[in-house]
């Protein structure tokens, strides 16, 4: 859960910055960054959202205490 949370949040930030760099053209199909940005949404939802991962991590931390 920790690895998935970190990786999906980081790739989300990177994709967002990529779109920012390209400006309005970042949403056009001509640039690969448009596809990356769209695919990141699926990564964040697949096998549990960020909030679900946080709940899993928190539950595990409380169990160890």
- Active-site pick, 9, 30, 34, 47: 47
Domains of the chain: 2-64 (1.20.140.10)
Give percent of the chain with pLDDT exceeding 70: 98
Active site annotation includes 47: yes
Average pLDDT, the chain: 88
Q: What is the distance between the alpha carbons of residues 52 and 59, in angstroms, rounded to a whole number?
A: 11
Which residue matches tokens 């939802």?
45
Q: What would the pLDDT profile of 18-39 be if each residue is shown by its tens digit?
A: 989 888 777 777 788 888 888 9
DSSP-derived letter for residue 28 is S
- pLDDT for 63 equals 92
**Averaged over 29-55, what is the pLDDT?**
87
| C-beta of residue 16 within 8 angstroms of C-beta of residue 36 | no
Which of residues 47 and 51 earns the better pLDDT score? 51
């Amino acid at each position: 859960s920790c690895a998935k949370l970190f990786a999906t949040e980081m790739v989300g930030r990177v994709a967002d910055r990529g779109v920012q760099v390209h400006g309005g053209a970042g949403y056009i199909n001509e640039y690969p960054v448009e596809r990356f940005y769209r695919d990141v949404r699926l990564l964040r939802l697949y096998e549990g959202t960020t909030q679900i991962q946080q709940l899993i991590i928190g539950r595990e931390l409380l169990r160890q205490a």
